[in-house]
């Protein structure tokens, strides 16, 4: 392998810290990944890069390669939520930064309103929810933890599947801009845009015109290796076909959230040649390789 590409396998490009809705500090995420054998990792907190410095320092200490990442909350063509993984973009680029900061700001009144709706039926307060969030990127998982702590839900799945389902009166969709605009902003910031868990929580197969629109907007690829994709084999087969046809970048990653999800670091991995394409196609930020 060329001297400039020194990332070691296994490669996991999707992990969350308590800067968003994981339960580990950024340094603890790196240690958990290292303990699981991972040697190259991206920290991808929701709509924030606030954990990069701490994670990069711990990666250096453990001789791991650090890839700057973020999972951007977006809206798809049908108005549903889409998560876009962005890699190696300039974290200071103004337009992208403004967009994700808007999303972060909008998360607060949304969660407050959901908490108020739940408070009509359950003993739960906004302070309970705030007590669950160490970072500034707050979301439904923090509300889930507060409900579990209060004894209203047995675990995260119980919260999402029994209480705050998408058609329940408690649910409010997440904020975020159109997925095509997210892709343009990530590219403008020199980054690479990969749709996270692209077939996970719904049963539909992506129509061809939808794929063409994403391609035209500049989408780089799909996270095909992710435990949630297994729930929709037809959808996954369609995206696998599109990836081959359009020569897209394909990744695999864990989506580790500490104790909030069963996902373990390294449970899905990205092939080195795919990471090399991400590095080659990005201009906003460089991987941080081990010293030696």
CB of residue 5 to Fe ion, shortest distance in Å: 25
Measured from the CB atom, is 114 or 186 closer to ligand AMP? 114
Q: Pick one of Fe ion, ligand AMP, Zn ion, none as the site partner of residue 196 (Cβ within 5 to 8 A by kind).
A: Fe ion
Q: Which of 164, 180, 170, 165 lies closest to 75 in space, CA to CA?
A: 180
Residues 68, 45: Cα–Cα separation, whole Å: 10
Q: Which residue's C-beta sits nearest to ligand AMP?
A: 139
Q: Which is nearer to Zn ion, 18 or 90 (CB)?
A: 18
- Binding segment for ligand AMP (CB under 6 A), chosen from 26-34, 58-66, 155-163, 185-193, is 155-163
Cβ atoms 62, 89 nearer than 8 A:
no
Per-residue tokens: 286 = 């460089």
Q: Min. distance of Cβ 93 from ligand AMP in angstroms?
A: 22
DSSP for 65-120, written as a single string:
EEEEEEEEEEE-TTS-EEEEEEES--TT-HHHHHHHHHHHHHHHHHHHHHHHHHHT
Q: Shortest approach of ligand AMP to residue 257 CB, angstroms?
A: 6
**Site membership for ligand AMP, residue 156 (CB under 6 A):** yes
Please say which residue, 72 or 163, places its beta carbon nearer to Fe ion. Answer: 72
Judged by CB under 5 A, does residue 47 bind Zn ion?
no
Which of these segments, 26-34, 134-142, 212-220, 232-240, binds ligand AMP (CB under 6 A)? 134-142
Pick one of 75, 83, 142, 277: the residue that binds Fe ion (CB under 5 A): 83
Is 284 one of the binding residues for ligand AMP (CB under 6 A)? no
Nearest residue to 82 via CA among 116, 57, 46: 46
Q: Which of residues 9-38 bind Zn ion (CB under 5 A)?
A: 21
Q: Which of residues 179-238 bind Fe ion (CB under 5 A)?
A: 196
Nearest-approach distance from CB 281 to ligand AMP, in angstroms: 25
Greatest C-alpha distance within the chain = 60
For the segment 18-77, give every residue that binds ligand AMP (CB under 6 A). 21, 73
Q: Which two tokens stand for residue 173?
A: 């969709």
Q: Which residues of 187-225 are buried (b: 16+ CB within 10 A; e: fewer)?
A: bbbbbbbbbbbbbbeeeeebeeeebeebeebebbbbbbb
Please tell me whether residue 223 binds Zn ion under the rule CB under 5 A.
Answer: no
Q: How many CA atoms, within 13 angstroms, populate the side-chain half-sphere of residue 228?
A: 17
Binding of residue 24 to Fe ion (CB under 5 A):
no
What H or E segment, with its residue span, contains residue 14? Answer: strand 11-15
Binding footprint of Zn ion on the chain (CB under 5 A): 21
Q: What residue ranges bind Fe ion (CB under 5 A)?
A: 71, 83, 196, 255
């Amino acid at each position: 392998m060329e001297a400039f590409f020194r990332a070691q396998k296994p490669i996991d490009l999707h992990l969350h810290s308590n800067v968003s809705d994981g339960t580990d500090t950024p340094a603890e995420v790196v240690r958990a990944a290292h303990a699981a054998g991972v040697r190259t990792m991206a920290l991808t907190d929701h709509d924030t890069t606030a954990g990069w410095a701490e994670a990069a320092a711990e990666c250096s200490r453990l001789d791991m390669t650090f890839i700057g990442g973020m999972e951007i909350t977006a809206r798809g063509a049908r108005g549903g939520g889409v998560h876009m993984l962005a890699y190696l973009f300039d974290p200071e680029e103004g337009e992208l930064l403004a967009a994700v900061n808007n999303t972060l700001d909008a998360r607060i009144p949304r969660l407050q309103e959901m908490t108020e709706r739940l408070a009509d039926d359950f003993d739960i307060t906004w302070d309970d929810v705030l007590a669950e969030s160490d970072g500034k990127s707050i979301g439904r998982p923090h509300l889930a933890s507060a409900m579990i702590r209060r004894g209203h839900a047995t675990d995260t799945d119980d919260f999402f599947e029994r209480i705050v389902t998408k058609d329940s009166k408690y649910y409010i969709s997440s904020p975020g801009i159109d997925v095509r605009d997210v892709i343009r902003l990530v590219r403008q910031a020199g980054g690479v845009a990969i749709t996270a868990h692209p077939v996970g929580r719904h049963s539909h197969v992506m129509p061809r015109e939808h794929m063409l629109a994403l391609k035209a907007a500049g989408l780089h690829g799909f996270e095909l290796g992710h435990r949630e994709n297994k729930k929709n084999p037809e959808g996954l087969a369609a995206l696998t076909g599109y990836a081959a046809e359009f020569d897209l970048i394909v990744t695999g990653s864990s989506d580790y959230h500490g104790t909030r999800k069963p996902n373990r670091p390294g449970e899905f991995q990205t092939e080195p040649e795919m990471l090399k394409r991400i590095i080659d196609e990005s201009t906003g930020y460089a991987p941080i390789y081990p010293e030696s």
